Amino acid sequence: MLVKYWMSTDVITVAPGDAMKEAMDRLKAHAIRQMPVVKDGKLVGMLSDRDLKKASASDATSLDVHELLYLLDKVKVAGIMSKPAITVPLDYTLEETAERLLEHKIASMPVVDADGTMVGIITQSDLFRALVSLTGLQDRGLHLGLLMADQPGSIMTVANMVREAGGKMAGILTSYKRCPEGKRRVYLRFYNIDRDATEALLQQIGTKAQLLYMVDHRNNHRTVFAE
């Protein structure tokens, strides 16, 4: 789950000498909120719709339309961009990338290689796309939440029950948060299960773990067994 497998490589950029109006038009045309600022192939900053709004807000109220258009054409990107740009290394994981986006309260970051050269951009939308793919949601299978003993082999036991019922595992996540001592929460995502066999499978799994909830993404059916 490295960022290099999920980043976008077709990056829309702007130059520091471009006019503010040109940058605004480019953001709007591509329906994006941020663009890397590049000069001679080097990343020199980042321009966001927030930077543009901040630059024009104080003057806009006192200018007529012609004066405002002149201002937008006169102000250059170099004077309003954020620098240095906040970047993420090519070999960062998606979790580390999401943490950095949250930390800086931004929606995207340029991705750089070991030499600091920009090789792509990662956005919140890319992370959402990865989440949907990695959790197997597109397979429209079953999502099962369990509370089970924190013992070696306990997850494998339940996973084998799913496989023996004809299911294919799409993902397994675990967490110790909000768990009693000696327990952990396990989240299974699997598909290719005959829905008529689901009840029997749940009863079998229930002998090894406490059922918390089940979501059937194909039928949009949700059952909460315990809080």
Structure tokens at 28: 């709007």
pLDDT of amino acid 99 = 96
Q: Model confidence over 161-181: pLDDT tens digits?
A: 999 999 999 889 999 998 999
pLDDT score of 144 more than 90 = yes
pLDDT score of 60 more than 60 = no
Q: What are phi and psi of 88, to 5 degrees?
A: -135, 135
Mean pLDDT of 89-110: 94
SS3 at position 183: strand
How many other CB atoms are there within 10 angstroms of residue 52's CB atom?
21
Tell me the pLDDT band of 67, cut-offs 50, 70 and 90.
Answer: low
pLDDT score of 195 more than 80 = yes
CATH number belonging to the domain at 3-132, selected among 3.10.580.10, 3.40.50.450, 1.20.1740.10, 3.40.50.720: 3.10.580.10
pLDDT score of 133 more than 70 = yes
How far is the C-alpha of 149 from the C-alpha of 16, rounded, in Å? 57
216 contact partners, CB below 8 Å, separation of at least 6 = 142, 195, 198, 222
| CATH 3.30.70.260 at 137-224, yes or no | yes
pLDDT score of 51 more than 80 = yes
Domain with CATH 3.10.580.10 in the chain: 3-132
Range in 67-71, 82-86, 174-178 the model is least confident about: 67-71
Nearest to 91, CA basis, from 108, 111, 105, 110: 111
Structure tokens at 31: 């329906």
Q: Model confidence over 25-36: pLDDT tens digits?
A: 999 999 998 999
Domain with CATH 3.30.70.260 in the chain: 137-224
Range in 10-14, 130-134, 146-150 the model is least confident about: 130-134
pLDDT of amino acid 136 = 77
Contact 198, 142 (CB under 8 A): yes
What is this structure's pTM? 0.74
pLDDT of amino acid 1 = 83
